[in-house]
């Protein structure tokens, strides 16, 4: 498999392997990184204090490795969560581009090669993302294919993309196949506590800086198994557990929009976006945050309290008909 990036244009890239409780898949994930065709490449392995043998499995896979890539190792003393572990790996990165890989996924051998090629062609945007495909626990492709590729439409400006992302979650990127420049962590405030995934945070930050590049190639096999965080949430049938998970997911969304507001305010102060665009986007985020906070209260309330909440909305201001409509949808769905 030949290289398409000229030697003089080959920046150092960091490939970050993020692991937690993935003993059954970690060796295969690391093997796919060791087989990357791109060089110069450093592989940063950051395990989030896994209670199983994930870290031991990784060390066993790397034992005796004599290939061209540099390996760095880190294991958190206590569990920091996905966002904290990603931030840890980013702090260890020396590369101009950080490519992330999960400990249960498989990267195609030319993944980094293609990302760097398109990243350079696009003028080094703040982030870049490829398409992906789904695999099962054995590593075989599944029949169900998720739509991963969310590139902007033709003729969309960066401001258009920012609006589309904030308003409809379009022009986004998937966490399993993303890459970013380290400044998306270094140049922004710490990610708001309570945010559980980094992909939406980094997508917003990228549109606030130099945009996102997209590669239509399927470069990552995203593994579907019972321990996926969203599979765990969606596989439950017990009404009480479903209620608790729904409440927890609403909390995650609230934390995410608080993070977006903080980043938008930061970008306005830095002059990365105009005050008018900043205010418009902050207003959208505040409205969505209100919705999730309202839903959180709704989920935590009895029937009498819910009736009181609905009456309060109607009497508060009937002109806000969208808010009333949304409340009724939640009440009677």
Q: Which residue has the tokens 């990784």?
A: 58
Q: Which candidate, 213, 206, 195, 203, places its Cα nearest to that of 172?
A: 203
The predicted pLDDT at position 323 comes to 58
Whole-number Å distance between alpha carbons of 65 and 12: 20
Model pLDDT for residues 149-205, shown as the tens digit of each residue = 788 999 999 999 999 999 998 999 989 999 999 999 999 999 998 998 999 999 999
> Please, are residues 42 and 95 in contact by the beta-carbon 8 Å criterion?
yes
Beta carbons of 93 and 15 less than 8 angstroms apart: no
Gyration radius from the chain CA atoms: 21
Which residues, 6 or more positions from 200, have their beta carbon under 8 angstroms from its beta carbon? 169, 172, 256
- Say whether 217 sits in a helix, a strand or coil: strand
pLDDT at 82: 94
* Beta bridge mates, 47: 19, 75
Per-domain boundaries in the chain: 7-225, 231-332
Q: Residues in the chain with pLDDT < 50?
A: 1-3, 232-236, 243, 319
Task: Measure the CA–CA gap between 204 and 169, rounded to whole angstroms.
Answer: 10
| Of the options 3.40.50.2020, 3.40.50.720, 2.40.30.60, 3.90.550.10, the CATH number for the domain spanning 7-225 | 3.90.550.10
Going from the C-alpha of 167 to that of each of 59, 154, 280, 282, the distances in angstroms are 44, 18, 10, 11
CB atoms within 10 A of CB 280: 16
State the residue for tokens 């294991």.
Answer: 75
The CA–CA distances, whole Å, from 109 to 114, 130, 264, 288 equal 10, 14, 37, 40
Residue 289 tokens, joined: 């945050």
């Amino acid at each position: 498999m030949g290289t398409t990036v000229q030697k003089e244009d080959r920046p150092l890239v960091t490939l970050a392997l993020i692991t937690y409780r993935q003993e059954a898949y970690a060796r295969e994930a690391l093997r796919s990184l060791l087989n990357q065709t791109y060089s110069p490449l450093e592989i940063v392995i950051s395990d989030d204090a896994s209670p199983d043998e994930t870290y031991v499995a990784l060390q066993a896979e790397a034992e005796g490795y004599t290939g061209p890539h540099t390996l760095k190792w880190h294991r958190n003393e206590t569990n920091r969560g996905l966002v904290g572990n990603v931030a840890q790996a980013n702090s260890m990165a020396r590369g101009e581009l950080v490519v992330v890989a999960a400990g249960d996924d498989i990267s195609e051998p030319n993944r980094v090669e293609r990302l760097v090629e398109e990243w350079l062609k696009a003028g080094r945007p703040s982030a870049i993302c490829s398409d992906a495909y789904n695999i099962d626990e054995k590593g075989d492709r599944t029949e169900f294919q998720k739509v991963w590729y969310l590139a902007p439409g033709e003729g969309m400006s960066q401001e258009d993309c920012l609006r589309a992302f904030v308003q409809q979650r379009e022009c986004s990127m998937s966490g399993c196949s993303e890459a970013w420049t380290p400044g998306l962590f270094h140049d922004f405030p710490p990610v708001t506590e309570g945010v559980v995934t980094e992909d939406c945070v980094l997508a917003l930050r990228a549109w606030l800086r130099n945009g996102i590049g997209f590669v239509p190639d399927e470069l990552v096999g995203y593994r579907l198994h019972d321990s996926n965080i969203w599979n765990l949430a969606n596989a439950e049938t017990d009404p009480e557990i479903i209620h608790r998970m729904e409440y927890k997911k609403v909390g995650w969304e609230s934390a995410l929009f608080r993070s977006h507001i903080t980043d938008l305010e930061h970008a306005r102060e830095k002059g990365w976006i105009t005050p008018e665009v900043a205010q418009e986007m902050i207003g959208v985020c505040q409205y969505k945050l209100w919705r999730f906070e309202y839903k959180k209260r709704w989920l935590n309330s009895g029937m009498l309290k819910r009736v009181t909440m609905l009456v309060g909305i109607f009497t508060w201001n009937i002109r806000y008909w969208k808010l009333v409509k949304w409340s009724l949808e939640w009440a009677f769905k």
